[in-house]
Amino acid sequence: MPTQMPFEGLLLGAALTVVGLIISWVVWRRRGASAGLRAVAWSLLPLAFGLVGLMGLLASLAGQLVRFFAGLVLDPLAWAGVAVAGLAAVLWTTGRLLRGRRGGAGRPAENEKQPKAAPGRPGSPAVGGAEPGKSTPAAGADDDFAEIEALLRKRGIS
Specify the higher pLDDT residue, 31 or 101: 31
The structure's pTM equals 0.42
Alpha-carbon gap, residue 4 to 6, rounded angstroms = 6
Domain parsing of the chain, residue ranges: 1-74, 75-114, 117-154
pLDDT bin (cut points 50, 70, 90) of residue 93 is: very high
Q: What is the CA radius of gyration of the chain?
A: 32
Are 53 and 5 spatial neighbours (Cβ–Cβ below 8 Å)?
A: yes
The torsion defined by the Cα of 4, 7, 8 and 11, in degrees rounded to 10, comes to 150
For 2-21, write each residue's pLDDT tens digit: 545 567 888 889 999 999 99
Most confident of 46-50, 85-89, 125-129, 140-144: 85-89
For 68-80, write each residue's pLDDT tens digit: 888 888 888 988 9
Alpha-carbon gap, residue 58 to 16, rounded angstroms = 13
Q: Which helix (H) or strand (E) holds 122?
A: strand 121-125
Q: Which helix (H) or strand (E) holds 121?
A: strand 121-125
Query: Where would I find the H helices in 32-158?
Result: 33-52, 55-74, 76-102, 108-113, 143-154
What are the φ and ψ backbone dihedral angles of 36, each rounded to 5 degrees? Answer: -65, -45
Residue 40 has pLDDT above 70, yes or no: yes
